[in-house]
């Protein structure tokens, strides 16, 4: 049964609708945020410093007198762009590596997979911090660095998933036929195998994208992300961490937005998986 026919028959899964609404709302904030924000992202003196929640300042005012709500609105696109580009980079690198590795087999496959296993055995945040610490931050701009780091930590995980899917498809008759026809390994991977594993990879992409904002914010929170006064959400939380007893909303506000984004993409992933008939396998 095709996905279209399935959609026509049954109502949309709740997770898809809810996930779409939540992540859609954050996407909307990212698109129009900078134009509707009442203040500039680093505008000083918008209100009394450390004054709490109010109609004029829904997320309070930080120590510098900046409106935290405006900073969150201005920073939304950054969180999305960083998370999505990093995930796509990891998806492309890991996907191609996994497909080729699964299709070729032999020593190449062995080498690639052992390398991936080594990287996967280290927790994501630790790998990310190691990469940031090893790279000369005085020469590489932080934006491409963070995208690269997310791509780097995701690539081996996606490669392993792509490889196991590719191996399953590689034994099919039409792949054997292509091989007998004399097609190159890369051509077989892209033309014969890729279209048949795209469902699995799509779910994997969405799943990774769901965790990427947390990784971006974690790097920002720990001070390994962008430079101040960039309104990246993790950095906003870190900046106002000391104010948690005085104006908790300055921390909870951006935290809530981050939670909405992560929960939204997760639900959306689950919804998509259900529609295309795949199950979500959550791994780290």
Residues 65-124 binding another protein (CB under 8 A) are: 65
Q: Which of 11, 181, 245, 284 binds another protein (CB under 8 A)?
A: 245
Q: Using the Cα atoms of residue 13, residue 15, residue 18 and residue 19 in order, give the sign of their dihedral.
A: negative
Q: Which of 14, 21, 177, 246 binds another protein (CB under 8 A)?
A: 246
φ, ψ for residue 61, nearest 5 deg? -125, 135
Give the pair of three-digit tokens for residue 161: 């998933």
CA distance 185 to 194: 12
45: left (phi over 0), alpha (psi -120 to 50) or beta: left
Least distance from C-beta 238 to another protein, angstroms? 7
Stretch that binds another protein, among 44-52, 111-119, 144-152, 205-213 (CB under 8 A): 44-52
Asked if 42 is part of the footprint of another protein (rule: CB under 8 A), the reply reads yes
DSSP state, residue 245: T
Q: Which of 20, 47, 49, 58 binds another protein (CB under 8 A)?
A: 49
Question: Strand pairing partners for 67?
Answer: 61
Q: Which of 72, 158, 238, 265 binds another protein (CB under 8 A)?
A: 238
Asked if 63 is part of the footprint of another protein (rule: CB under 8 A), the reply reads yes
Stretch that binds another protein, among 72-80, 81-89, 113-121, 240-248 (CB under 8 A): 240-248
Which residue has tokens 């001070």? 223
How many whole angstroms from its chain centre is CA 27?
13
Asked if 10 is part of the footprint of another protein (rule: CB under 8 A), the reply reads no
Q: Which is nearer to another protein, 33 or 41 (CB)?
A: 41
Q: Which is nearer to another protein, 51 or 164 (CB)?
A: 51
DSSP string, 242-284: GGTTT-THHHHHHHHHHHHHHHHHHHHHHHHHHHTT-------
Q: Count residues contacting another protein (CB under 8 A)?
A: 25
Q: How many CB atoms lie within 10 A of CB 249?
A: 22
Q: Which is nearer to another protein, 156 or 231 (CB)?
A: 231
Instruction: Identify whether the C-beta of residue 116 lies closer than 8 Å to the C-beta of residue 159.
Output: yes
Give me the residues that bind another protein (CB under 8 A), please: 42-44, 49-50, 63-65, 133, 137-138, 222-224, 227-229, 238-239, 242-246, 248
């Amino acid at each position: 049964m095709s996905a279209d026919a399935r959609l026509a028959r049954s109502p949309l899964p709740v997770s898809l609708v809810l996930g779409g609404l939540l992540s859609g709302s954050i996407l909307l904030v990212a698109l129009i945020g900078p134009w509707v924000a009442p203040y500039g992202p680093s505008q000083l003196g918008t209100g009394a410093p450390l004054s709490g929640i109010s109609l004029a300042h829904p997320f309070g005012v930080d120590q510098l007198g900046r409106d935290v709500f405006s900073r969150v609105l201005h920073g939304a696109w950054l969180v999305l762009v960083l998370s999505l580009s990093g995930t796509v980079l990891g998806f492309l690198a890991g996907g191609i590596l996994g497909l080729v590795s699964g299709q070729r087999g032999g020593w190449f496959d062995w080498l690639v997979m052992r390398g991936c296993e080594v990287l996967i055995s280290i927790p994501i945040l630790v790998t990310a911090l190691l990469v940031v610490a090893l790279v000369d931050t005085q020469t590489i701009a932080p934006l491409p660095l963070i995208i690269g780091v997310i791509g780097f930590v995701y690539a081996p995980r996606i490669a392993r998933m792509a490889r196991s899917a590719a191996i399953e498809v590689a034994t099919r008759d039409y792949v054997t036929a292509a091989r007998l026809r004399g097609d190159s390994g890369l051509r077989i991977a892209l033309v014969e195998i890729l279209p048949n594993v795209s469902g699995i990879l799509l779910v994997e992409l969405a799943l990774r994208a769901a965790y990427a904002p947390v990784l971006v914010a974690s790097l920002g929170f720990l001070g390994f992300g962008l430079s101040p006064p960039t309104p990246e959400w993790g950095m906003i939380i870190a900046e106002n961490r000391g104010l948690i007893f005085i104006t908790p909303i300055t921390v909870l506000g951006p935290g809530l937005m981050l939670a909405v984004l992560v929960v939204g993409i997760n639900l959306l992933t689950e919804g998509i998986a259900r529609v295309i008939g795949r199950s979500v396998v959550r791994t780290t």
